[in-house]
Amino acid sequence: MDEASLANIRAHLMARRRRIAHVLDDAADAPRLVGLLKEVDSALEKIGNGTYGACKTCHEAIEDDLLERDPLAGFCLDHLDTAQQRALEYDLETAARIQGALLPPRDIDTELWRLHYYYEPAGPVSGDYCDVVPPKKEGGALLFAVGDVSGKGVAASMLMAHMHAVFHTLASFDPPLDQLVAETNRLMCESTTSAHFATLVCGKARANGEIEVCNAGHLPPLLVRRGEIVRLDATNLPIGILCDAAYALKKVTLEKGDQLVIYTDGLSEAESGDQMYGDERVLELVSKNGGASPRDIVRACVRDLDAFTAGAARQDDVSIMAIQRVK
């Protein structure tokens, strides 16, 4: 486990210790709390002497995701008893259901825009962020976002859920896009550790055919326009790095049939043997299918990725979104 994650766990344990100590004297269940306090102190001592995170049975490192879920875990997954394994499986299944419920509909159609996306976690939960806020009224803007939280597994999925809550709360006030991203960044900075950040592409598709795009450290979205492809490179810092960062926008106007394709690095950095899928392959595939519908272009990307990896399990979360002007 890296130093930043250990520091995060230590801060969590210290906060837990303070809460236990605060209620200990007046608690009816004092003996159990004393035992829990000893467990917390033992974990803090192990962090201090460099022995934290070792399985009591095999003495190998306990999985990071398990420690992030339960900082007092004493056994790796191979040595959990049956009840502990079932509890862990239930928690992960519940987390996956909750995360799935946060996702928008796969297909969204407005008077001017058609949108489709693909979202596949590498494990039970994902650190990718994929979101759409339909127009509140006729002629309003379609708000969309694709992001990638640093890290993987449970910790990344928790930050993804937090970003979802922040984004929807702020979007309800319909602020200008640059202010929406800047405020999302500020709130993420104030509520996460410095080791955690997220890349993000956020956009507003307006009823006049214009799309405002803010790229905060993410892979360049691909603008497919009249048979040509334009990369919309990142011009801003990722979310969660600098609390008072300002965010600049790019504005592009799409004609009928033009579309914007956004993806996470689970697509471009997929590996097969010693080969990487690569951004150029994404570019070629999008160029070849640029006249297709959003659903078809996304499905073409997924089929090609499956062929490249020969159906092997995903090593990273994959998200692909396409937004097309339909008239």
Domain boundaries, the chain: 3-80, 104-325
36 pLDDT above the threshold of 60: yes
State the fold for domain 104-325.
Phosphatase 2c; domain 1 (3.60.40)
Quick one: residue 217, left, alpha or beta (phi over 0 = left, psi -120 to 50 = alpha)?
A: left
- 86-133 tens-digit pLDDT: 877 777 788 788 888 889 999 999 999 999 999 999 888 888 999 999
- 104-325: same fold as 3-80? no
Least confident piece of the model among 7-16, 77-86, 269-278? 77-86
Sign of CA dihedral 234, 236, 240, 241: positive
| pLDDT recorded at residue 27 | 52
146 pLDDT above the threshold of 70: yes
Split at pLDDT 50, 70, 90, the class of 25 is low
The DSSP 8-state label assigned to residue 224 in this structure reads E
The DSSP 8-state label assigned to residue 221 in this structure reads P
Cα 191 off chain centre by: 16
Split at pLDDT 50, 70, 90, the class of 307 is very high
- 243-283 tens-digit pLDDT: 899 999 999 999 999 999 999 999 999 999 889 999 999 99
At 244 the three-state DSSP class reads coil
Question: How many whole angstroms separate alpha carbon 79 and alpha carbon 88?
Answer: 13
With beta carbons less than 8 A apart as the criterion, state whether 221 and 201 touch: yes
Query: Looking up tokens 């006049």, which residue turns up?
Result: 208
- 200-214 tens-digit pLDDT: 999 999 999 999 999
Entry pTM: 0.77
295 pLDDT above the threshold of 90: yes
Quick one: residue 244, left, alpha or beta (phi over 0 = left, psi -120 to 50 = alpha)?
A: alpha
DSSP 110-167: -SSEEEEEEEE-SSSS--EEEEEE--SSTT-PEEEEEEEESS-HHHHHHHHHHHHHHH
Higher pLDDT, 325 or 1: 325
| pLDDT recorded at residue 308 | 94
Superfamily of 3-80 according to CATH = DksA, coiled-coil domain (1.20.120.910)
| pLDDT recorded at residue 278 | 95
How many angstroms separate the first and last alpha carbons of the chain? 51
